[in-house]
Amino acid sequence: MSKAKKVASIAFTGAAAAVATGAGMGVGAGPAFASGGTWHITPGGHYTATNVSPAILNANGISLTCPVNAATASGSLSGDGRTGTTVQLGTITNAQFGTAASPCSLLGFGVVAHLHKATTLSATGYAAPVTTGRIGDGATSAISASVSGVNGFDCHMEIRGGSLPGSFNNSSHNLTINPSHASQLAITSIAPSKSCLGLFGAGEPAWFAAKYNTNPQQTITDP
């Protein structure tokens, strides 16, 4: 197995952390204005989300891809009626990247990843039709995920991060997680017995980009 291929599998760990991420709201594209009104979510409640464009992770300058429909997430949106400029509108309770049978990959070599614990979806601004905010609060609901190699990859890594930036668009009902070097993701540990060829070390940063569509389709406003 080549080092480049192994690196790709290892690097995807950040993607797992990130998407955890992935399904409801984040900080990002378009103008953002501070909100002080009442937030409305329709229909709200339980949602699922699936990536509608490739999910891309970059670590150490190496990008790898989780193909369309390979990354999923679920949670709830329960912030209808809340007020304020920074408001928690929901949670992501589960996030999965690939399966052993259909893994996320680079150059045909795969990994699977998952979120360890629930994380928050918070809004910080609204400029129709886009809500801006973040995934994770940097504290109790910080992003926590792991990645494991499949099909012969001898690697296991843990990823942690404070928050991820993105945006939610009411027209497309999509959450976009924007690539950002300030996204606060980092490799925190590598299993001694599954050292990932020694290509990465604790503390190395990663960033993630993806787009998810929600089901049922959600609309979030702050008029």
Our count of domains for the chain comes to: 1
Out of 14-23, 79-88, 110-119, 125-134, pick the least confident: 14-23
- Rounded Cα distance between 118 and 153, Å, is 27
- Between 120 and 26, name the one with better pLDDT: 120
Phi, psi torsion values for 202, nearest 5 degrees: -60, 140
Centre a 10 Å sphere on the Cβ of residue 38 and count the other Cβ atoms it contains.
14
pLDDT 10s digits, 33-43:
445 689 999 99
Who has greater pLDDT, 71 or 36? 71
State the Cα–Cα distance between residues 31 and 125, nearest whole angstrom. 9
pLDDT score recorded for residue 1: 44
Tokens (6 digits) for 29: 């594209």
Q: How would you label 148-185 residue by residue, b for 16+ Cβ within 10 Å and e otherwise?
A: bbbeebebbbbbbbbbbbbbbbbeebbbbbbbbeebbb
Is residue 50 very low, low, confident or very high in pLDDT (cuts 50, 70, 90)? Answer: very high
Tell me the pLDDT tens digit for each residue of 173-186: 999 888 765 557 88
161: enclosing H helix or E strand? strand 155-161
Position with higher pLDDT, 75 vs 21: 75
What pLDDT score does 112 carry? 84
Q: Which residues pair with 59 in a beta bridge?
A: 62, 206
pLDDT value of position 111: 81
Query: What does the pLDDT average to over 187-198?
Result: 80
Share of the chain above pLDDT 70, in %: 77
pLDDT for the residue 106? 55
Residue span of the structural domain in which 131 resides: 3-221
The structure's pTM equals 0.80
**Each residue of 112-155: pLDDT tens digit?**
888 888 988 999 999 999 999 988 877 667 888 888 888 887 87
**pLDDT tier at 107, thresholds 50, 70, 90:** low
